[in-house]
Amino acid sequence: MTAKEAAGTYRVLRWTELICECKASGKTIAAWCAEHSVNVKTYYYWQKRVREAACEQLTLKESTDLPAVSTLKAPSFTEYRLHSQSIGSAAVTLHLSGATMEIHNGADAAVIESTLKALKNIC
């Protein structure tokens, strides 16, 4: 990794933390930005970059059909496959920002919770 790539990765991670902090604050984006001296346009620019990074990581995982492995603390996604006898129609289907998530009966609660937290961070 070059110094330029490392700096870009650092910025994405830093903005991921800031965006999560803003969402956790319960304040509007405008109020949070004003309180932290952040330009609202800059916030939305970095929100878009963080989402793109998450989508790239998901696309890489899908194209290699291997578990996503990352040393970053940015959101990551892993596919959990059910045993063939457990597969049926989904009990819950979520459609968010162009992504679809299906939850089947018998899904592990920890997996559901982790997935929803990751979606919350990018949606």
Are the C-beta atoms of residues 68 and 78 closer than 8 Å to each other? yes
For the chain, the average pLDDT equals 75
Residues 34 and 86 in one domain: no
Please indicate, yes or no, if residue 72 is contained in any of the structural domains.
no
SS3 call for 23: helix
Residues 57 and 117 in one domain: no
pLDDT band at 37 (very low <50, low <70, confident <90, very high): very high
Q: What pLDDT is recorded for position 22?
A: 92
Q: Which residues of 10-24 are buried (b: 16+ CB within 10 A; e: fewer)?
A: eebeebbebbeebee
Provide the domain count of the chain.
2
Q: How many CB atoms lie within 10 A of CB 58?
A: 19
Residues 48 and 99 in one domain: no
Residues 49 and 91 in one domain: no
Residues 14 and 52 in one domain: yes
Are the C-beta atoms of residues 46 and 87 closer than 8 Å to each other? no
What's this model's pTM, rounded to 2 decimal places? 0.49
Nearest-10 crossing angle of helices 40-64, 3-25: 110
Please indicate, yes or no, if residue 43 is contained in any of the structural domains.
yes
Q: Domain span at residue 44? A: 1-65
Pick 95 or 56 by higher pLDDT: 56
Residues 1 and 59 in one domain: yes
Residues 58 and 88 in one domain: no
Residues 60 and 108 in one domain: no
CA 81 to chain centre: 20
